[in-house]
Amino acid sequence: MSADIQHIVTRFAPSPTGRLHIGHAWSALKAMDLARAAGGVMRLRIEDIDGARSRPEHVDGIIEDLRWLGVEWDGEVVFQSQRLSLYDTALEQLRHEGLVYPCFCTRAEIAAEIAASGSAPHGSDGPVYPGTCRHLDADVQAARIALGDAHCWRLDMDKAVARAGPLTWQDMDRGPITARPELAGDVVLARKDAPTSYHLAATLDDTDMGITHVLRGDDLVAATDIHRLLQALLDLPSPLYSHHPLLVDAEGNRLAKRSGGISLAELRGRGMDPARLRDDLRGNRFPVGIRLASA
C-alpha cells in the first residue's frame, strides 16, 4: 500500500437497485478505513444512471444502512443522474475523434449473430459484440439516427487500443498491471436507455471527484482495464486500484442485493450491534454461511 501518499481520496459507489448486503458493507468500510488511516477523504457516489432499475427508496435505504453501520463520507453525495452533461461532453469528444459508433442492434440480433458465427468470445460484460454496426456508412448512421432508430454508442476497441498504445494501471499492492481492454470488445459507452454507461460515467466521476484510490470488488478487474483505456483516450489521470475478493454464500453463490438474511437492513432488524459488525468485518469475520470467494 502506498502509505506515503498524503492526500487519499476514496469512494464507495453503490448502484441503488436494492438494499446493501454484507459484501457492500465490507467494501465500504475498507474504502473508509483506507482514507481515514491517512487523514484522507471518503466520498459517496450513487450510480443511478439505470433509470429502469434505480429507485429513490433504494437510495434512502443505502444512506440509512451506511449511517447505521457507521460509514461516514465527506461532502455531498454525488448522483450520476445529475451529471449527464459531463458524460455527454466526453462522449462527444470520442465521437469527434471517430472512436465511437452508433449500434442499432437489439439483444436478440446480437445473440443470433453470435449463434450463427459459431464462436463467442466472452468479455467482462458477456459475449463480445460481433461488430455488426461497426462499419455502417456515415450516411446510413445519420439517416437511422434521424429516423429515431434506437441506438447505443460503442467504443471502436481496435481503433481505441491503437490510439492509446500499451497501457498499465497501478495496483495498490502489486504495482503496474497490464491492461487488456481489447478482451471486452466494443463496449457500450452510452446505452440505448441512458446517455452514458457504467464504464464512461465511473471513469469520468473518479477523475472529477479527485479519487486517488479506487477500492472495489474483483468482479471489476476487467472493468479497470477499460477505465484505464478511457483515461488514456480522454487524457485523464489514473488513480491507484485495489480489488478485493467477493463474498459468497454457503453454496458459493455471489451475494445478491435481494438475498434475505444478509442485507444490512435484515441484520439491523435482528438487533445486530453495528459496532460489533464493524469489528467483525474489519477482522474478516462474516455472518454464518458467508465467506470470501477465494477462501
Q: How far is the CB of 105 from ligand GLU (least distance, A)?
A: 25
d(CA 207, CA 295): 33
User: Should residue 228 be labelled a site residue for ligand GLU when binding is judged by CB under 6 A?
Assistant: no
Q: What is the closest distance, in whole angstroms, from the C-beta atom of residue 31 to ligand GLU in the complex?
A: 9
x/- letters, 166..195, toward ligand GLU (CB under 6 A): ------------------------------
Q: Which residues contact residue 203 at a Cβ distance below 8 angstroms, ignoring those fewer than 6 apart?
A: 227, 230, 231, 234, 236
Looking at 12-20, 115-123, 164-172, 187-195, which segment touches ligand GLU (CB under 6 A)?
A: 12-20
Per rule CB under 6 A, is residue 207 in the interface with ligand GLU? no
Kindly state whether residue 200 participates in binding ligand GLU, applying the rule CB under 6 A: no
Q: Which of 58, 151, 216, 243 binds ligand GLU (CB under 6 A)?
A: 216
- From 209, 222, 99, select the one nearest 162 (Cα to Cα): 99
Residue 239 binding ligand GLU, by CB under 6 A? no
CB closer to ligand GLU, 27 vs 185: 27
Establish if 10 lies at the interface with ligand GLU (CB under 6 A): no
Cell numbers at 237, concatenated: 489521470
CB of 45 to ligand GLU, least distance (A): 8
Q: Report the residue number, 15 or 196, with the smaller CB distance to ligand GLU.
A: 15
Span interacting with ligand GLU, options 10-18, 78-86, 173-181, 280-288, rule CB under 6 A: 10-18
Q: Could you give the dihedral angle defined by the CA atoms of residues 172, 178, 184 and 189, in that order, rounded to the nearest 10 degrees?
A: 60
End-to-end CA distance of the chain: 22
Tell me: does residue 9 bind ligand GLU (CB under 6 A): no
Applying CB under 6 A, what is the total number of residues that bind ligand GLU?
7
Q: Which of 150, 154, 139, 168 is nearest to 240 (CA)?
A: 168
- 21 touches ligand GLU by CB under 6 A: no
Q: CA–CA separation, 227 vs 179, rounded Å? A: 9
In sequence order, which residues have a C-beta less than 8 Å from that of residue 116 and are 6 or more positions away?
A: none
Residues 42-81 that bind ligand GLU (CB under 6 A): 47
Q: Closer CB to ligand GLU, residue 53 or residue 276?
A: 53
CA torsion 108-111-112-113 (nearest 10°) is: 120
The total of other beta-carbon atoms located within 10 Å of residue 139's CB is 8
On the CB side of 295, how many CA atoms lie within 13 Å of its CA?
A: 15
Per CB under 6 A, the list member of 8, 9, 15, 238 interacting with ligand GLU is 15
Positions in the binding site for ligand GLU (CB under 6 A): 13-15, 47, 202, 216, 220
